[in-house]
Structure 1
């Protein structure tokens, strides 16, 4: 982590307080002069050391659960949905700050930490930005993780919709259990039905299970929302408030979901 990223993360975490945002316990930053060889001589140069102390989250990252079959088996549907809900809640808190939205810019399973109840907390704010107003900004710096960055981010255009695209990728990963899948998933309805059939088979095998249709409706809704969030056109992605309403079945869901611009 660079000094700029370290300072940025400390500054943001000190002002954030939410059940789905990792808590900053403390930090340490100091510069020591050390003796280094340079052009045949020894010179003193400053060496910076920095350390963040965050709350302890015993279950590590969501990424570990998605990549480990033994851990993944602990994620039943209700737990997965709880992780989706918590991630959305944390992101809404960031996007609705009174002095301007905070965009995370590096949302991915590795930056979602899980507590002892497998509830998610957003972490790693080194790349995050505080926007002065709603909208987008342009930058020459493009940092992040390929696969989670929206198309416009690669051209240096940043905004809250950048996080929405990443959220869509995460939602689909949580539902499908797959770390990678095509950018375009044609035909979409066939993709949805295939994933639903997998979940039907899994849920029906659970002893004493009785809420199949309710959960399948919820699973379908999550896949649809994830696909809408991943639209290549940022203007066609829903806001985080709209995402939450759609997940809860309170907002209208377009029947025709397209990943075309």
Structure 2
């Protein structure tokens, strides 16, 4: 998925160089573009990920330590102690989610004709998600163990609020753009509706899975949206702490979603 975001970034730089500076800065922050030239046909750009690549590096290091370095080790805390990668990946997960939900909030503001009530509601939900995620991050770093992520209600609450935000965004866009006369036609508005609905489904289903992982049943049922069952297995979490598994793919989904829209 990270490779897909790189291709999307190159496409964006090449064909959408006249976008607003604010949109370019957002893409610069959460995706893979660090250089946006003003010329439409320029090839002078660098692909460099900021928040996205920080999260990717953090997740890679954390799971390398857990799955490879800790393999067959007798140390009881090897799998639960936080590494530097976890310190990077956990906060980046919520930063990316919040930034892209704010982007969608701005899209909703335009699509709905500057309706303050709807926009403010989405922004408030996104902020609550970010606040819960920030609290979970601070407490996790404070305790210094991944065990806290399994037991705290903050993680499933943040995932649940994020799910609600994605559902509201998708519903509002669908309601304001979809018209009966557009069904069955292939045009820009129809394609925009399809993209928004698909991207909404792609992001909120992993959030639901993350919430399930934090439930008292300790089961992991990971299912990516859009009918694509990439990976499904049921694991008893005791002493393995697989709650972070859905969180790996959530930022990838959001970045791909941003660039697609």
Same-fold status (TM-score > 0.5): no
Say which structure is richer in strand. 1
Say which structure is richer in helix. 2
Q: Greater Rg, structure 1 or structure 2?
A: 1
